[in-house]
A and B are shown apart, each in its own frame.
Chain A
Amino acid sequence: MATAYPPNQGGVPPEGPAAMPDSYFTESRKGEVNELKTLLRNFSTERDPKRKRDIIKKVIAYMTLGIDVSRLFSEMMLAIETRDLVIKKMVYLYLVNYARSHPELATMCTNTLQKDCGNEDPMVRGLALRALCGLQLPGMVEYISEPLRRSLTDGHAYVRKTGVMGMLKLYRLNREAFQESSFVDILYDMLRDPDASVVSNCIIVLNEVMADSPNGGMAINRAIMLHLLNRIHEFSEFSVVQILDLVPKYIPANNDEAYQIMNLLDPVLGRYSPGAVIATIRAFWSMAEAVGGPDEEAMKRQIVSRCKAPLVTLISSCSSELGYSLLKHAESLIDAVPGVFDDEYRQFFLKYNEPTHIKYLKISILPKLANPENAPDIVAELAECVNDMNIKISRYSVRSLMQIACRDTGGPGCAESIARRLVEMLDLNVSHICSEAATSLASVIRKHPGLKSVIAPPLSRSLKYVEESSGKGSIVYLLGECSEVTMAPYALEKLIDTYDKIDDATIKIALLSSTMKLFCQRPAEVQAMLGRLLAKATDDVSSQDLHDRALLYYRMLESGVDLPVLASVVDTKTALGQGVNFAEEDDFELRAELMKEFNTLSIVFGRESKNFIAEEFQVKFAKQPKEHPLEPGSEGAAPSAIPGGGLDVLGKTSAPAPAPAVAAAAGSFDLLGMGDPGGAAPAPAAPSGGPPFNAAVSMTGDEYQNTWGAINDSQSVVSMVPLKKIPGSTQEVETALARHGIKTMASGELPTEFKFFLYAQDSPTGLLMLIQGNLDKQSGEALLVLTVKVNGGDGGASDQQKVDTLTAVMSSAL
């Protein structure tokens, strides 16, 4: 639907500058609507085209402001009969806007619209069609269908692409009418349209219309996929994304095809279009997963290396909004394949006038890039950011420094130098930095217990001026860990003596456990203060945890437990082993899930889509086709264009190879085999005169199963037979096929689909053909999908020919 300013919205006219030349917005007295009405009445007699336009323009201006001008409906409808395109456009806009509130009047003007759909001017035809479909009135279906059908064969691409979109509007308006008119088949046919934007509109419509099918969108097979990919250079940066999004759903027939697809996509990386580049990366990624096996990891690494340069170029040159999304995607890639982006670390340094969300993001990415070579630079840069005026940036920078130390990726000495910097920050006398540094040191010490000697000296001093409770708690924790600090017990004693002034439970708990730890190490010094602390804490009811802990310690001491036993209870054992990271850093499952949803909102939000998108709007994702349509041997269609080297397909030298053989094959291929059945099988067995299949053949169930199992799945051929309608029962299909010598081994009806297990014997050669057929009842199109295995076949072109014959026979039988 077009501009639907809700009527009665009561928009306030803006106080525009008085000097505005076209002051449509400035005057909006209600009385003028009546004045307009009179003007419109005399519209047909008005001779000056300029004045005519101005009147209509004024109406639209009022509409934009939210003033209800629906009273002018009948007058406006009179104005639709005009040769002036501008007026026509504006009246259409008005019409679509108010059709809902005035359905009966809108119905009256459908005749004019229908007539305009046959106008000699393609622009008018397109516009009228769009308006007609845009009315969205339930009663209009019968008026829409015919012009819509005509538009699909229009000579002008503008009309065709409007028509394709019109089908989607019809589908939303009335699903039954849409399904009855078999528009889906027409849409699949139109994927071959010479105009790229018509094709991309077809994909959009098919994806939405078929969203409920098990595929979660348009059905794709090899022929469609290769046909589209071979034309990819024709598509604009917005429509190319439609094709790229199909690729992850497609299961390539074999590894070579996967490489070939990647070669076809490679030029897209050179476009200046972030959307297309990211979609290409996702397509590449899915191809790597399809190849699988031991090479998968190496391939993914290669993909990221290939995409790094274009990505960095885009990030450094595009607007901040795009930059943010790109950085989010880059972050996912860095997580998935660590190390590749390391040498570009300078691209992730903060710039002064960037928006803060980009700065935060960069700070969180930087630690992931640290390696022994660049760590000193990254650490120095982050340390610089700690002094930023923005407190959040400064806090995050401290945390990122801590992460580098904890990941220990910065090479020998790096963790220590970070610890020294953090210790320096403790003395900085800036509240948030001190506190954050203390918290970070507590994490660092868990990973690197050996750094205690570096950290220990300033602790008792800094306890005095760290103010935030998380930081203070951390210092208290550190004092407990570094029992060798001579002053440690005395620093804590001061805190114990002012126990009543502490109002944060985390500090109290840290104080309790640290005092206990020190007691285990240096009982003589600590005993007295521990007693005072326990007395206070057991009386403290502000925190359940604290209270219980204090009681536990108290009773253990009371029962006279040996010191070593006590120490083993008190010791928090929080140290991380070598090569172990904090759990938050190792959320591999989430990361793997997110990579599947690359190039969606999920990456930006860092959550899986099922966790935040309403179910009806989630994108269903099913890989297809289920069976590979091509066996490795029969690659007459897709041969040597693929470089033999395998992995170096991404290398630049082989990239431009356009796989000419495939282009030829796809060009002449009948997509989905839905053309007329005669054409689909150019050389059927007809010349031989006799029936193509031997009716006398029979097999047992075991034979069937063994034979099926003996033939490699990759040698099967997939084909499709369009049916006139979905059959009522399996019996119907079986009898029809039996007449042509195609026997049924078994069949069954499931709630969603029919399944057939068929076989036939090729008369000329006597070879057995085993056929499994699936008919999806829900997809709305009666399409029997066949998987055929030829027993003893050579796996080459002759098999394909047999299957073509079979398909032709079956489609004539059904």
Chain B
Amino acid sequence: MIQTLFLLSPTGEVLIERHFRGVVTPRSVCDTFWDRASQSVNHHGGLSTTTSILLQDDHYDSITPVMEISSTTGSLLYVISILRDGLSYLAVCPAEVSPLLILEFLHRIADTLVDYFGNPADESTIKENFSTVYQLLEEMMDYGWPLTTEGNALKAMIRPPTVMSKLLATSTSAVSDELPSGTVSNMPWRAAGVHYNQNEIYMDIIEAVDAIVDASGRLVSVDVSGSIQCQSHLSGIPDLLLTFKDPSLIDDCSFHPCVRYARYEHDHVVSFVPPDGNFELMRYRIKRDSVANFTPPIYCHVQWNVASTNEGNDPDDSSKGRIVLQMGLTPSSSLILSASRNKSQALIVEDVAITIPFPKSVRSIANSCSASVGSLIYDEAGKVVQWNLGKLDVTKKPQLTGQFTLNTTSDTATTSMTMAPNLSMSWKIPLASVSGLSVSGLSVQGEKYRPYKGVRNITKSGMFQVRVG
């Protein structure tokens, strides 16, 4: 069980503090946590930290999400923490717990805050809405145990701040006038009495490619994780049935609690009563063979040279480095394009960006690079250059060249100091998919109306890494 919940700001200040079991956890626990978190430069090293901190030190270490901290009274406490939108969520537990349960619950709290206050739920948002945050915590947890965790049930009890109420600034009722009927239903995720004038449901089948490409363009590892994100605005209690053209493409999947799992096991159809609003219907992994045939849609050739300029006895030893990046679309991509796509239209990759983390020993990166296309952003402190290319099509052959000077003070460390960095790349291709998974039908039962339905495929980069040298 959770004894205390702390929310820390990006500077380590306590924003929210809630003791659940009558025991007051001293704030010194937060101080200890913060000390450790700030020593380990990249904090948890979660994706939300900026790369600049990540690369400040060669010896950086991240802190583990579960740690022991002894309190001032001498007893050991277990602090389980997550980092979201710059805020650290700390759950302090005195006893043996399931760490996964607590971590999951902390994420659920963070999700709920995003749901209520919009993305990102950061420091200023929390300060602005602290009374709602306390009300939410009150309902989400009782005496250290998760209580009401479904967004829809919570919304029935505590009304989220709406744009309207913000604008009018009149009686900002944070509490609904009517009571939750959803809490007694067998579908805690669906609120009762939902009504829309226009009934519509949208689904995005998103496949994210995690890959490591080595210097010669060979794929070292590739993994594709898919998810179906839904936006549902349907009245009443609609019972949906989603069928896939070829369900055998899915290797393994996990579902939102609303999905009838037995039905999927049996018929490979997804039968469910959707929650209202945005939710993730399922996550899946695709079969190994369709991953094996994957070729990245973009190639990136990198040349990285470092040459020591003055071999002499100059104490301020330095060497010159040069980097050349060439990008382009792979002529034959393995992606399966959606049928709705205009056949004649050329493949376009959107939101292409490359992050180049230079070695720490580079003296200055400011204006060291020039690119034929797109814009460059320099992060001098972290020695990171980000190259935003925007849209990329077959006709373009963007190139980036950069020159820089490296400090090589001690020759033993030469190798690690001038070692070529690994680049990370991000991109997005709408109306394309790695697996070719597509929906063959989505039917609504239990309600009379005919909703507007929209389904599309998106393929994008997950952790897409290019090794240099």
- Is A bound to B? yes
Chain A residues with a Cβ under 8 A of chain B: 1-6, 9, 11-12, 14, 16-17, 20-22, 24-25, 49-50, 53, 57, 60-61, 64, 85-86, 89-90, 93, 121-123, 130, 136, 156-158, 161-162, 165, 168-169, 172, 194-197, 201, 204, 233-234, 236-239, 241, 245, 267, 270-275, 277-279, 309-310, 312-314, 316-317, 319-322, 324-326, 329, 346-347, 349, 351-358, 381, 384, 387, 389-392, 428-431, 467, 599-605, 609, 612-614, 617-619, 652, 655-656, 658
Interface residues of B in 148-201 (CB under 8 A from A): 148-150, 157, 166, 170-175, 177, 179-180, 183-184, 186, 188
Instruction: Establish whether residues A324 and B212, one from each chain, have CB atoms under 8 Å apart when the complex forms.
Output: no
Known: A352-B212, A352-B465. 15 other contacts (CB 8 A): A1-B22, A2-B18, A3-B134, A61-B130, A130-B138, A158-B183, A158-B184, A316-B225, A320-B44, A355-B44, A384-B220, A430-B415, A431-B413, A599-B100, A609-B96
Instruction: Establish whether residues A197 and B21, one from each chain, have CB atoms under 8 Å apart when the complex forms.
Output: no
Instruction: Establish whether residues B253 and A270, one from each chain, have CB atoms under 8 Å apart when the complex forms.
Output: yes
Instruction: Establish whether residues A429 and B412, one from each chain, have CB atoms under 8 Å apart when the complex forms.
Output: yes
Task: List the 5 closest A-B pairs by CB distance, nearest first.
Answer: A355-B45, A617-B95, A355-B62, A309-B252, A321-B65
Instruction: Establish whether residues B284 and A313, one from each chain, have CB atoms under 8 Å apart when the complex forms.
Output: yes
Indicate if B294 sits at the interface (CB-CB under 8 A).
no
Instruction: Establish whether residues B64 and A324, one from each chain, have CB atoms under 8 Å apart when the complex forms.
Output: yes
* Docked pose: A387 CA to B285 CA in angstroms: 31
Instruction: Establish whether residues B61 and A392, one from each chain, have CB atoms under 8 Å apart when the complex forms.
Output: yes
- Given contact pairs A4-B24, A50-B170, A271-B261, A618 touches B283 in the complex (Cβ within 8 A): no
- Given contact pairs A21-B166, A319-B46, A357-B62, A274 touches B19 in the complex (Cβ within 8 A): no
CB distance from A425 to the nearest CB of B (A): 11
* Docked pose: A194 CA to B175 CA in angstroms: 26
Interface string of B14-50 (1 = CB under 8 A from A): 1011111110100100000000000000101111000
Indicate if B68 sits at the interface (CB-CB under 8 A).
yes
- Given contact pairs A61-B130, A429-B412, A93 touches B138 in the complex (Cβ within 8 A): yes
Instruction: Establish whether residues B76 and A614, one from each chain, have CB atoms under 8 Å apart when the complex forms.
Output: yes
Q: Which of B52-60, B305-313, B446-454 binds A?
A: B52-60
Q: What's the dominant secondary structure at chain B's contact region?
A: mixed
Contacts of A196 in B (CB 8 A): 188
Instruction: Jot down 17 A-B pairs with beta carbons below 8 A, ordered by A.
Output: A3-B19, A12-B13, A50-B172, A60-B134, A123-B180, A157-B183, A195-B183, A238-B146, A267-B262, A270-B265, A272-B282, A275-B104, A313-B254, A355-B45, A355-B62, A381-B220, A389-B58
The residue in chain A whose Cβ has the minimal distance to the Cβ of B174 is A86
Chain B residues with a Cβ under 8 A of chain A: 1, 9, 13-14, 16-22, 24, 27, 42, 44-47, 51, 54, 58-66, 68, 75-76, 78, 81-83, 94-101, 103-108, 124, 127-131, 134-135, 138, 142-143, 145-150, 157, 166, 170-175, 177, 179-180, 183-184, 186, 188, 210, 212, 220-223, 225, 227, 251-257, 261-262, 264-266, 280, 282-285, 359, 412-416, 419, 421-422, 424, 463, 465, 467
* Docked pose: A599 CA to B98 CA in angstroms: 5
Instruction: Establish whether residues A601 and B285, one from each chain, have CB atoms under 8 Å apart when the complex forms.
Output: no
* Docked pose: A275 CA to B82 CA in angstroms: 15
The residue in chain B whose Cβ has the minimal distance to the Cβ of A613 is B96
* Docked pose: A352 CA to B468 CA in angstroms: 12
- Given contact pairs A6-B24, A57-B131, A238-B146, A321 touches B283 in the complex (Cβ within 8 A): no
Instruction: Establish whether residues B60 and A236, one from each chain, have CB atoms under 8 Å apart when the complex forms.
Output: no
The residue in chain B whose Cβ has the minimal distance to the Cβ of A49 is B171
Contacts of B183 in A (CB 8 A): 156-158, 195, 197
Partner of A25, one of B42, B127, B463: B127
Partner of A14, one of B1, B13, B95, B424: B13
* Docked pose: A618 CA to B463 CA in angstroms: 40
Instruction: Establish whether residues A158 and B180, one from each chain, have CB atoms under 8 Å apart when the complex forms.
Output: yes
- Given contact pairs A197-B183, A267-B262, A322-B100, A351 touches B463 in the complex (Cβ within 8 A): yes
- Given contact pairs A14-B13, A234-B186, A236-B257, A619 touches B96 in the complex (Cβ within 8 A): yes
Instruction: Establish whether residues B262 and A316, one from each chain, have CB atoms under 8 Å apart when the complex forms.
Output: no
* Docked pose: A303 CA to B104 CA in angstroms: 24
CB distance from A341 to the nearest CB of B (A): 14
CB distance from B118 to the nearest CB of A (A): 14
Contacts of B97 in A (CB 8 A): 600-601
* Docked pose: A728 CA to B329 CA in angstroms: 87
CB distance from A6 to the nearest CB of B (A): 6
CB distance from B58 to the nearest CB of A (A): 5
Among A195, A279, A313, the one with the most B-chain Cβ atoms within 10 Å of its Cβ is A313
* Docked pose: A237 CA to B101 CA in angstroms: 9
Partner of A165, one of B17, B142, B188, B264: B142
Instruction: Establish whether residues B107 and A319, one from each chain, have CB atoms under 8 Å apart when the complex forms.
Output: yes
Instruction: Establish whether residues B173 and A236, one from each chain, have CB atoms under 8 Å apart when the complex forms.
Output: no
CB distance from A662 to the nearest CB of B (A): 16
Instruction: Establish whether residues B147 and A161, one from each chain, have CB atoms under 8 Å apart when the complex forms.
Output: yes
* Docked pose: A255 CA to B76 CA in angstroms: 41
Contacts of A392 in B (CB 8 A): 59, 61
- Given contact pairs A172-B22, A241-B101, A320-B46, A156 touches B174 in the complex (Cβ within 8 A): no
The residue in chain B whose Cβ has the minimal distance to the Cβ of A597 is B96
- Given contact pairs A313-B283, A321-B44, A599-B100, A195 touches B184 in the complex (Cβ within 8 A): yes
Instruction: Establish whether residues A238 and B149, one from each chain, have CB atoms under 8 Å apart when the complex forms.
Output: yes
* Docked pose: A273 CA to B145 CA in angstroms: 17
Contacts of B17 in A (CB 8 A): 3, 5, 64
Contacts of A467 in B (CB 8 A): 412
Instruction: Establish whether residues A316 and B223, one from each chain, have CB atoms under 8 Å apart when the complex forms.
Output: yes
Instruction: Establish whether residues B467 and A384, one from each chain, have CB atoms under 8 Å apart when the complex forms.
Output: yes
Contacts of A201 in B (CB 8 A): 142, 145, 147
Instruction: Establish whether residues A652 and B171, one from each chain, have CB atoms under 8 Å apart when the complex forms.
Output: no
Instruction: Establish whether residues B266 and A168, one from each chain, have CB atoms under 8 Å apart when the complex forms.
Output: no
Contacts of A353 in B (CB 8 A): 47, 51, 54, 424, 463, 465
* Docked pose: A275 CA to B431 CA in angstroms: 34
- Given contact pairs A60-B131, A656-B266, A356 touches B60 in the complex (Cβ within 8 A): yes
- Given contact pairs A391-B58, A609-B96, A617-B94, A169 touches B252 in the complex (Cβ within 8 A): no
Contacts of B130 in A (CB 8 A): 24-25, 61, 64
Contacts of A93 in B (CB 8 A): 134, 138
CB distance from B195 to the nearest CB of A (A): 22
Among B68, B76, B257, the one with the most A-chain Cβ atoms within 10 Å of its Cβ is B257
* Docked pose: A357 CA to B95 CA in angstroms: 24
Instruction: Establish whether residues B128 and A351, one from each chain, have CB atoms under 8 Å apart when the complex forms.
Output: no
The residue in chain B whose Cβ has the minimal distance to the Cβ of A279 is B98
- Given contact pairs A64-B130, A349-B221, A351-B212, A322 touches B103 in the complex (Cβ within 8 A): yes
Partner of B66, one of A158, A356, A358, A601: A601
Partner of B251, one of A25, A162, A309: A309
Instruction: Establish whether residues A652 and B265, one from each chain, have CB atoms under 8 Å apart when the complex forms.
Output: yes
Contacts of B157 in A (CB 8 A): 123
Among A53, A352, A381, A600, the one with the most B-chain Cβ atoms within 10 Å of its Cβ is A352
* Docked pose: A602 CA to B134 CA in angstroms: 32
Contacts of B96 in A (CB 8 A): 600-602, 609, 613, 617-619
- Given contact pairs A64-B130, A274-B100, A326-B100, A357 touches B64 in the complex (Cβ within 8 A): yes
Partner of B21, one of A1, A322, A346: A1
Contacts of A123 in B (CB 8 A): 157, 179-180
Instruction: Establish whether residues A168 and B143, one from each chain, have CB atoms under 8 Å apart when the complex forms.
Output: yes
* Docked pose: A136 CA to B22 CA in angstroms: 8
CB distance from B135 to the nearest CB of A (A): 6
Contacts of A6 in B (CB 8 A): 24
* Docked pose: A273 CA to B105 CA in angstroms: 10
Instruction: Establish whether residues B184 and A157, one from each chain, have CB atoms under 8 Å apart when the complex forms.
Output: yes
The residue in chain B whose Cβ has the minimal distance to the Cβ of A345 is B221
* Docked pose: A353 CA to B49 CA in angstroms: 10
Instruction: Establish whether residues A316 and B285, one from each chain, have CB atoms under 8 Å apart when the complex forms.
Output: yes
- Given contact pairs A3-B19, A310-B252, A320-B46, A604 touches B68 in the complex (Cβ within 8 A): no
Contacts of A60 in B (CB 8 A): 131, 134
- Given contact pairs A195-B184, A278-B98, A389-B416, A271 touches B257 in the complex (Cβ within 8 A): yes
